[in-house]
Each structure stands twice: as C-alpha cells, then as structure tokens.
Amino acid sequence: MSLAQKIAIVTGGARGIGRATAAELARAGCDVAFCDIAASAPETVKEIESAGSRALYLTADTGERAQMEAMFDEVVSRWGRLDILVNNAAINIRKPLLELEVDDVAAVWKTTLWGVFHCSQLAARQMVNQGAGGAIVMISSIHAARGFPGSTAYNGAKAAVNQMAATWASELAAHRIRVNSIEPGWTDTPGERKFFTEEYIREQGRLLPLGRLAKPEEIAAAVKFLVSDEAAYITGSVLRVDGGLMLPR
Ligand SMILES: NC(=O)c1ccc[n+]([C@@H]2O[C@H](COP(=O)([O-])OP(=O)(O)OC[C@H]3O[C@@H](n4cnc5c(N)ncnc54)[C@H](O)[C@@H]3O)[C@@H](O)[C@H]2O)c1
C-alpha cells in the first residue's frame, strides 16, 4: 500500500508511541484520525497538520464499544474509507498477584484487550466492505512473550493480542487485509515516566544491549514499515523492536 492519501486510525494518539505514530503516518501522506481519553490532543493535531495531512481528533475510550462504533462511523462518513488501523491504546496496573483486585484486571483488559478487539473488528468489517485490502497493526509488547512480574493482566492481554492478531491474519488474508504485531521493548514515553525517574531510566537504559530505551519514533517507524507496500508480503508476524532486551545475556 502506498501511504499517500490513505486513511488511518490510531488509538491512544494524544502522547507517547500513539502520538509519534500518528505524526509518522501523516508525514508518509496519510490522513490520520485518532482517539484518546484525553479531553484534547492539540500537539498531535498540530504535528499531523504541519505534515500537510488532515487530522481528526475524537475523545473516545477504546474499551467502550458504542464510542468506537461512533468513531469509525465518523471517520468513514467524513473521509469515505479506512485503510489502516493502529491499535496502540493500552493501560497497565502494576501490582503483584496477591494484591490484585478483580476490578484492576477488568480495567486493564477493558482497554488493552477488549479495545483491540472492538477496533479491529470494526476496521476489518469496513475494509472487507471496501474490498481493497488494508493493514492492521497491534502495538503489543515484549510482555506478550515474557511474564514480567507485577503485570498479570497486562501480560495476559498482550499475549492475547498477539494470538488474536495471528487469528485475524489468517481469516482476513483472502481480503488482502494484513494483520501484524509489534513488540516494543522499554520505550521512553509519558506512560513510563509515571513510574520511573529520569535517573532510573538513564541508569537502567545503560544496562540494555543497545544502551538506552527506545524512542517513540523508533516504534512509529516500524509501524510505518508494516502498513506500507514494503511489507506487502508480511502478515501474521510479530516484529520485536526492543534494542535486544529479550536477547540472552
Ligand atoms: N512505553 C513502553 O515501554 C512500552 C513497551 C511495550 C509496549 N508498549 C505499548 O505501547 C503502547 C503505547 O504505550 P505508551 O508508552 O506510549 O503509553 P502512554 O501511556 O504514554 O500513552 C498511551 C495513550 O493512550 C491513551 N489511552 C489510554 N487508555 C485509553 C483508552 N481506553 N482509549 C483511548 N485512549 C486511551 C492515554 O490517554 C495515552 O494518551 C501501548 O499499547 C503499550 O502497551 C509500551
């Protein structure tokens, strides 16, 4: 898929990897609609528009089916079609199993698992109706492959996201809709800065094989690749972008 004038939806685009992805796709020529639970997202809108692309921001929660239906309807009624979905929105509640509440798990799964299901199903239905293929990318995590402690619900959701992506890649291949996952490693975003200090991030980053955390733009570059024509023969894959974090040491 050449990206010029393609229509993309990015979830959780107000900041972090979602914001970098929205901007990267805009620079590649896509018009970008994005949602977030934030009241507004002026920085992302500015970045999209300064790339010469159209931006549409909707305050909407990916875990709420009706809000996602309204978002997809709005994008298609304004711009006529949908070519790309990037499932980026996710949350984590970090607690050990022994302290975890059922409500914590439900809250994490609502966004990190159900949100991906809602958006992917709505996107797939739209793309199948259009009959011209499409690309869906999951921003998964290395947590899909390794059970880092303190992240029960998040780890389980990300593993499920990878497996749903593989399932949908099989089901949708006949429609030329490609579905792939990206597993970022530790990435320097506002979400991570909530948990860790600058000093801790610098010190721990030095211990990684490539000596630092990922930048959001480095994950966005992988998204751009996977939705582009350069990746036309790639579906059902998992692309790890982790600076070697998962390598044996
Ligand atoms: N930062 C990392 O180290 C890292 C590593 C691996 C994977 N990831 C994944 O990358 C993605 C982005 O992470 P990030 O670090 O940029 O996060 P972040 O917390 O900095 O940004 C996430 C954005 O999603 C929005 N959001 C949260 N819940 C939402 C919902 N229900 N509906 C709509 N928007 C919602 C937030 O408001 C925020 O703007 C997530 O899927 C995350 O799991 C991040």
Kindly give the distance from the C-alpha atom of residue 131 to the centroid of ligand 1, in angstroms, as a whole number. Answer: 31
Q: In this predicted model, what pLDDT tens digit does every residue of 5-33 receive, in sequence order?
A: 999 999 999 999 999 999 999 999 999 99
Q: What one-letter code names the amino acid at 168?
A: W
Which residue segment(s) compose the domain that 185 sits in? 7-239
Burial class (CB in 10 A: 0-12, 13-18, 19+), 24: buried
1 part of a folded domain:
no
Q: 14 CA distance to ligand 1 centroid (A)?
A: 9
244 in a domain, yes or no?
A: no
Amino acid 2: pLDDT: 78
% pLDDT > 70, the chain: 100
Give the largest CA-CA distance in the chain: 51
- Residues 116-133 have pLDDT tens digits of 999 999 999 999 999 999
Q: How far is the CA of 135 from the centre of ligand 1 (A)?
A: 20
The pLDDT value given to residue 27: 98
d(CA 129, CA 51): 30
Decide if 200 is catalytic: no
How many structural domains are present in the chain? Answer: 1
The residue contributing the CA closest to ligand 1 atom 20 is 191
Rounded CA gap, 115 and 135, in Å? 17
Residue 249 resides in a domain: no
Supply φ then ψ for residue 204, to 5 degrees.
Answer: -70, -35
**DSSP assigned state of 213:** P
Please indicate whether residue 243, judged by its CB atom, sits closer than 6 Å to ligand 1.
Answer: no
Specify the CATH number for the domain of residue 211.
3.40.50.720
**126 within some domain:** yes
